[in-house]
Amino acid sequence: MTARRTRIFWMAFAVILALLIVMPFGLPEFWRRFLTEILIWGLLAMSSDILIGYTGMVSFGHSAFFGLGMYGAAAALLTTRPPSLWLALLYGLIAAATVAAFVAYFSTRLRDIYFAITTLIFSQIFYVIIFTWTDATGGENGLAFSRPALAIPGLFSLPFTTLTLYWFVLAVVTGSYLVLRRITRSPFGMVLQSIRENEARTRAIGYPVERYKIVAVMFSGLFAGLAGVLYAIQNRFAAPDFVFFVVSGEAVIYNIMGGVGTLVGPIVGAAAFLLLREGLSRLFPYLASVASQHGLALPGLAEFPYLIPLGIIFIAIVIFMPQGLLGFARRRLNE
């Protein structure tokens, strides 16, 4: 990027960050929590962008990393007194990284569709293990625990409010974005992009492509796990539903809706999707009540699943906005 574009970028970044910091002041409780969720899912989608957007590997395995981060945090929060935020982060990241290493080792030997299917299968393997290992994971019901405080032992302990938790999550997600941005512009990141553009040539010029892919999966898994830890802290429970492959699919959807290969795109995509979902889920009952006020009985309208128009929108984006898809939002690699 030229010096001018860099300046513009950082100015825009500062403005947006400032907006995000003050936004919750004007919002009721529900929307503050909603914003926090957007950030968390955005982080998950951003982690998947490392693979899809930058390395060209579509992965459906992120639910495994997310879920393990969640359960890792749960383990820390249930086994230590008082529940420690930092241990939750540590356990969650280690769990996610371990799973990522395992999945990476097996699946990176495979290309394209086989890679996607294998990561999906791994998600399901972990789902089944977590679902059936009731003693350790609470099985179907999951695990419930209390939220840790923002604390440095010996110095202070501040229980989270919705507001402070939002700022904590914002800080973590912003930090993650900056780190990932650095990584994608580093020599390592440029190799990933080269792999995406032309894997055979990248190998032919001397890069051990498999090793790069494994590291990419591990970074991706780490940040997905981080999202899982944040989710656990916010919602105070861990459930196997989040390890089901559909969650991976949703991360991919946010990623694509927002624009692959951009890092911010996924966060925007998550915001768009979640807002759309919220809006649509209120729209249909509202329409039904309006209709019945006018004497029109439309049975079934109130329960019309918002996922249908949402799914259609997603399909339309994949078909009609290919530049946002595996064709990449940015054409130039020099960023």
Q: Quick check: 86 and 146 in contact, CB under 8 A?
A: no
Q: Which CB atom, from 233 or from 325, has the smaller least distance to another protein?
A: 325
Q: Quick check: 130 and 244 in contact, CB under 8 A?
A: no
Give least dist CB 308 to another protein, A: 5
Give least dist CB 228 to another protein, A: 22
d(CA 157, CA 315): 47
Q: Which CB atom, from 148 or from 240, has the smaller least distance to another protein?
A: 240
Alpha helices in the chain (DSSP H): 3-22, 29-49, 62-79, 85-107, 112-132, 134-137, 162-185, 187-197, 199-204, 209-235, 245-258, 264-293, 307-320
Closest CA to 246 of 16, 22, 67, 39: 67
Q: Which CB atom, from 51 or from 233, has the smaller least distance to another protein?
A: 51
Give least dist CB 92 to another protein, A: 22
Bridge partner list, 158: 150
Q: Which CB atom, from 204 or from 290, has the smaller least distance to another protein?
A: 204
Give least dist CB 60 to another protein, A: 9
Q: Which CB atom, from 256 or from 267, has the smaller least distance to another protein?
A: 256
CB atoms within 10 A of CB 10: 10
d(CA 31, CA 16): 18
| Residues engaged in binding another protein (CB under 8 A) | 58, 106, 109-110, 112-114, 116-118, 120-121, 124-125, 128-129, 131-132, 182-183, 185-191, 193-194, 197-198, 200-209, 249, 252-253, 256, 300, 303-305, 307-308, 310-312, 314-315, 318-319, 322, 325-328, 331-334
Give least dist CB 112 to another protein, A: 7
Q: Quick check: 242 and 86 in contact, CB under 8 A?
A: no
Give least dist CB 249 to another protein, A: 5
Q: Identify the three-state secondary structure at position 152.
A: strand
Give least dist CB 113 to another protein, A: 6
Q: Which CB atom, from 130 or from 229, has the smaller least distance to another protein?
A: 130
Sequence-distant (6+) residues with CB within 8 A of 326 are: 52, 56, 58, 260
Q: Which CB atom, from 34 or from 328, has the smaller least distance to another protein?
A: 328
d(CA 236, CA 70): 10
Bridge partner list, 238: 143
